[in-house]
Amino acid sequence: MAGEQPRYLSYLLRLWQTSDGRKLVWRASLESPGTGERRGFASLKELFGVLQAQTELQDEENCGGGIAGGRGGNMATTSDNVKRET
């Protein structure tokens, strides 16, 4: 393990509460500091799904010898059902 770069993903997470017309709901956005890419989420469940998919993707890449140390994740490779924030 000596000499290996740390493996991590970096995002700016924003959370806010808003009304869907009937009740208060949580919305979220993730921004990759490396690329500036920002993605919005209509629910925390969608956010957690993308984070889980991204970390599983990292695990698969790490098993193949790739190291992601220090770079923001590529959110485009995760979930197709996530809406982009405008």
**50 with 11: CB under 8 angstroms?**
no
Does some domain include residue 7? no
In a domain, 26, yes or no: yes
Question: In this predicted structure, what is the pLDDT of residue 7?
Answer: 78
Predicted TM-score (pTM) of the model is: 0.64
Count how many domains the chain has: 1
Q: 51 in a domain, yes or no? A: yes
pLDDT of amino acid 70: 46
Question: pLDDT at residue 19 above 60?
Answer: yes
Looking at residue 46, its pLDDT comes to: 97
CB 31 within 8 A of CB 11: yes
**In a 3-state reduction of DSSP, which class is residue 59?**
helix
Residue 62 in any domain: the answer is yes
Q: Which domain holds residue 58?
A: 12-77
Sign of the alpha-carbon dihedral angle for 65, 67, 30, 77: negative
Quick check: 80 pLDDT over 90?
no
Q: Strand, coil or helix: what is 44?
A: helix
Residue 85 lies in a domain: no
Instruction: Note whether residue 6 is domain-resident.
Output: no
